[in-house]
Chain A
């Protein structure tokens, strides 16, 4: 046994104890399970036999994930490390999206990269440096994931990267108590959402109250929450076919279909009567961080906040997230009632730059239902893995999201901006939204975005 492996033995129990402590402290929903999945000291190595045993081999994993989520991620493969003898060197970096380019070009790519955007994955594949995954990974993906998820990890019909975690976007957060007070109910159609907004807007109980609170600020990525709004509306109003064509560049931004989405969203978030509860006028949307925005619901400064399922983590400690709790969320409704859920969402993909046996073992593990259950059990995230037991989701909203993802009737589409070329999806679409909120005309914004399509 190598020195470092021995070292780990000593460290592990301590690490887990503090990890659990942190989880308890850091998990805002307070629903941490005392039985923290991978944390069992005496793990059952039978589950891991198929991955083989190694002698202190190291695998570097590089990703955007930092902080508490990174702890949970590392915990999710702790048993795997113990049983296989592989040491996973995890490296979380907020500059991932630029640094991965530099590292790949510079000839020092990580063994595994957890890539949060299919668009970026495609670019990585284009460099020719992404290594073909072993058959075991493809088998897992065929077995546990839907066809569309596999497509996102493929290029020109060839499979490269397995999906990892997932999130469901398009939730509208609200306070059940606030709704009861105001005598309103979650809407069933987009029209109802508009009338709900209008109804709430009539209530001018305080200067700072508006129906919606919206925040698009997110550092370098400022504007992305706005793209989520547009994507949700395109999917719901135009349907998946138009959505797919839009992603492929066949339907331009400057088209009636997309303009309709902008107009509908604009009716809500560009009207000073509707926004920005707790923060001020329309322009404050751009300077309010997406993390802060929804918190105004708790102050009673707004009633509605549009954000993905992962917003759950932003509620302060002690906030009960449940249908009968302090806050809850409904899915942004469809055009018409009873169409079935149409949701957008996001997720990560695991690309390999090394074909070492240890790397492949970890890659296979990460694509398995075993990993999905282990990770989801730790809280905070969900996965679209079909082998995931919804009961492992650690929160009501997580369970609901898993149900939606696993429902055959759900129309799921990946976040469009993540699929588009980076020059649009993580640049001009974002900045276009920012300009739009600042008062630029819709036409100019749409044409501007089209102009940057490579």
Chain B
């Protein structure tokens, strides 16, 4: 077969290709209609049907939870699908969950706010620091940067659990235990290795001529960083930001340990885990609680997915 066009079999860790689709797809957009025709030939009708089936299967569990969240308590002994035979939706579960099942646990609303207050800096801090480090690793030559970068990559494998106690001791040593600050710093640390790794691969793909030209013009590193690196990396930043947002929002362990579990600081997941721990009593409330915790990531995902996908596809559409 003479169709093996890409004999470069060495697998490359070209993340930027993933994040931007840039690497190999630079010249395809102009191919326009013809390309579409070729691709369409390759996509059979059956494949589409299969795709729809898979999407359906993938959605059912979440959909079931969604339906179950509207079921009255006395119907919890029936499957959620029975709601279609006997329509009895109620908002009661949501009312109870949002209003709080008890005063001491506060209501979900306060945890909701905590989640936001934790997640937003928990996303921005690591991204900016990672971008700076990625820039240095990619564009500022210094001794040992190769080894340092490999080290950072390797840090991904340190199991989070093992870092909890030393870090907690450190936070208490500097007297910020149980505050938002501690939670932010913890999330920053745990998010850094992957973010640096992914961003580095992207940043290093930025055309060297641009950076060189700016340098010749007398721009400082900081100026290059803000004027060239950040604007050009926006697609990658957007995608990684979404991943980091989802990770921080959904995290339970870090929050549990560094917020001290108190209602002042603890996020939604901590509250939800408490509800799940009391499964027997809360069984009818759990779907509503779970759905409330899911809703923000879903909104973020659906609202930003355009940027997300654009980030992923930047190269191929830009041409």
Tell me, yes or no, whether A binds B: yes
Q: Report the stretch among B18-26, B226-234, B258-266, B306-314 that lies at the interface.
A: B258-266
Contact status A90-B104, CB under 8 Å: yes
State whether B274 touches A94 (Cβ < 8 A): yes
**B-side contacts of A102, CB under 8 Å:** 164-165, 168, 257
Q: Which of B244-300 contact A (CB under 8 A)?
A: 256-257, 260-263, 270, 273-274, 276-281, 283
| Most-contacted residue by chain A among B104, B105, B165, B261 (CB, 10 A) | B104
**Contacts A67-B105, A106-B177: A219 and B279 contacting too (C-beta < 8 A)?**
yes
Chain A residues near B104 (CB-CB < 8 A): 66-67, 70-71, 73-74, 90, 92
Identify which of A93, A103, A108, A289 contacts B279 (C-beta below 8 A): A289
The B179-212 residues at the A interface (CB cut-off 8 A) are: none
Once bound together, how far apart are the Cα atoms of A108 and B261, in whole Å? Answer: 12
Q: Of the listed stretches A14-22, A157-165, A193-201, A352-360, name the one at the interface; the rest are far from the partner chain.
A: A14-22
CB distance from A431 to the nearest CB of B (A): 18
Bound Cα distance A19, B280 (Å): 22
Residue A423, interface by CB 8 Å:
no
Within 8 A of B (CB), among A18-36: 18-19, 22, 26
Q: Give the secondary structure class of B's interface.
A: helix
- The number of residues on chain B lying at the interface, defined by a beta carbon within 8 Å of a beta carbon of chain A, is 30
Whether B102 contacts A67 by the Cβ 8 Å rule is yes
A103 contact set on B, CB distance < 8 A: 168, 260
- The answer on a CB contact under 8 Å between B169 and A106 is yes
Complex interface: chain B residues within 8 A of A94 (CB): 273-274, 277-278
Determine whether A89 belongs to the interface, using a CB cutoff of 8 Å to chain B. Answer: yes
Closest to B280 in A: A291
Looking at the assembled complex, report how far the CB atom of B160 sits from the nearest CB atom of chain A, in whole angstroms.
12
- In the complex, whether A95 has a CB less than 8 A from a CB of chain B is yes
Chain B nearest CB from A389 CB (Å) reads 26
Are A91 and B105 in touch, CB under 8 angstroms? no
Residues on A with beta carbons closer than 8 Å to the beta carbon of B262? 60, 89, 91
User: Judging by beta carbons under 8 Å apart, are A95 and B105 in contact?
Assistant: no
CA distance A18 to B104 in the complex (A): 11
Does B101 contact A68, Cβ atoms closer than 8 Å?
A: yes
Asked if B223 CB lies within 8 Å of chain A CBs, one says: no
**B82 contacts chain A at the CB level, 8 A cutoff:** no
A454 lies within 8 A of chain B by Cβ: no
Residues of B near A229 (CB, < 8 A) are none
Q: Which residues of A contact B172 (CB under 8 A)?
A: 106-108
- Say yes or no: A107-B103 contact (C-beta < 8 A), given A67-B278, A91-B263: no
Contact of A106 among B101, B257, B278, B279 (CB under 8 A): B257
Whether B61 is near chain A, meaning CB under 8 Å from some CB there, is no
Q: Within the complex, which residue of A67, A89, A90, A314 is in contact with B101, where a contact is CB–CB below 8 Å? A: A67
Query: Quick one: CB contact mask for B60-98 with A, threshold 8 Å, 1 for yes?
Result: 000000000000000000000000000000000000000
> Shortest Cβ distance from B18 into chain A, in angstroms?
36
Interface-centre pick from B169, B261, B270, B278 (highest chain A CB count, 10 A): B261
A side interface size, CB within 8 A: 36
Tell me whether A414 is interfacial, beta carbon within 8 Å: no
A447 on interface, CB distance cutoff 8 Å: no
Residue A185 interfacial (CB < 8 Å): no
A290 to B283 alpha-carbon distance, docked (Å): 13
* B33 sits at the interface (CB 8 A): no
Q: Which of A68, A90, A107, A219 contacts B277 (CB 8 A)?
A: A219
Chain B nearest Cβ from A188, distance in angstroms: 32
B residues less than 8 Å from A68 (CB atoms)? 101-102
Confirm or deny: A50 has a beta carbon within 8 angstroms of a beta carbon on chain B.
no
Q: Which residues of B contact A107 (CB under 8 A)?
A: 168-169, 172-173, 177
Decide if A99 touches B261 in the complex (CB within 8 Å). yes
In chain B, residues 94-114, which have Cβ atoms closer than 8 Å to a Cβ of chain A? 101-105
Chain B nearest CB, measured from A116 CB (Å)? 13
Find out whether the CB atom of A67 lies under 8 angstroms from the CB atom of B103: no
Kindly state the separation between the CA atoms of A309 and B263 in the bound complex, as whole angstroms. Answer: 30
Complexed CA–CA distance, A107 and B182 (Å): 14
Residues of A within 8 A of B277 (CB): 94-95, 219-220
The interface residues of chain B lying within 8 Å CB-to-CB of A132 are none
Q: Tell which of B102, B177, B257, B283 touches A66, judged by Cβ atoms closer than 8 Å.
A: B102
- B163, chain A: closest CB distance, angstroms: 11
A292 within 8 A of B: yes
- Whether B261 contacts A91 by the Cβ 8 Å rule is yes
A203: Cβ under 8 A from any B Cβ: no
User: What 1/0 flags go to A44-72 for Cβ under 8 Å of B?
Assistant: 00000000000000001010001110110
| Min CB–CB distance B249 → chain A (angstroms) | 19
Set of chain B residues within 8 Å of A91, measured between Cβ atoms: 260-263
State in angstroms the CA–CA spacing of A60 and B178 once bound together: 12
A19 to B104, CA, bound (A): 10
Q: Mark A310-351, 1 if CB is under 8 A from B, else 0.
A: 000010000000000000000000000000000000000000
Whether A66 contacts B274 in the complex (CB less than 8 A), given A22-B102, A91-B262, comes out as yes
Task: Kindly supply a per-residue 1/0 record for chain A positions 95-115, scoring 1 wherever the CB is within 8 Å of any chain B CB and 0 otherwise.
Answer: 100010011011110000000
In the assembled complex, the CB of A16 is this many whole angstroms from the nearest CB of chain B, namely: 9
Nearest CB of A to B95, in Å: 12
Q: For B165, list chain A residues within 8 Å (CB).
A: 102, 105-106
Instruction: A420 to B263: give the CA distance in the assembly, Å.
Output: 32
Partner of B260, one of A15, A73, A108, A220: A108
Minimal beta-carbon separation of A344 from chain B (angstroms): 21
Interface string of B153-165 (1 = CB under 8 A from A): 0000000000011
Partner of B280, one of A22, A92, A99, A290: A290
Give the distance in Å from the alpha carbon of A24 to the alpha carbon of B171 in the complex.
43
B178: nearest residue on chain A (CB-CB)? A108
Pairwise interchain contact B105-A92, C-beta atoms closer than 8 A:
yes
Q: Given the complex of chains A and B, what is the CA–CA distance between A92 and B168 in angstroms? A: 20
Measured CA separation A353–B168 after assembly (Å): 17
Q: In whole angstroms, how far apart are the Cα atoms of A429 and B281 in the complex?
A: 25
Cα–Cα, bound, A160→B276 (Å): 33
Q: How many Å lie between the Cα of A94 and that of B101 in the bound state?
A: 15
State in angstroms the CA–CA spacing of A89 and B278 once bound together. 22
Q: Quick one: closest B residue to A299, CB to CB?
A: B77
A-B contact pairs, 18 of them (CB 8 A): A26-B101, A62-B261, A66-B274, A71-B103, A74-B103, A74-B104, A91-B262, A92-B105, A93-B261, A102-B164, A105-B169, A106-B169, A106-B177, A107-B173, A108-B168, A289-B283, A314-B280, A314-B281
Closest 8 pairs (CB-CB, A-B): A291-B280, A106-B168, A94-B277, A70-B104, A107-B172, A289-B280, A108-B177, A93-B261
Residues of A within 8 A of B (CB): 15, 18-19, 22, 26, 60, 62, 66-68, 70-71, 73-74, 89-95, 99, 102-103, 105-108, 218-220, 289-292, 314
13 A-B pairs besides A70-B104, A106-B164, A291-B281 with CB distance below 8 A are A66-B104, A70-B102, A71-B102, A91-B260, A91-B262, A94-B277, A105-B169, A107-B169, A107-B173, A108-B178, A108-B260, A219-B277, A291-B280
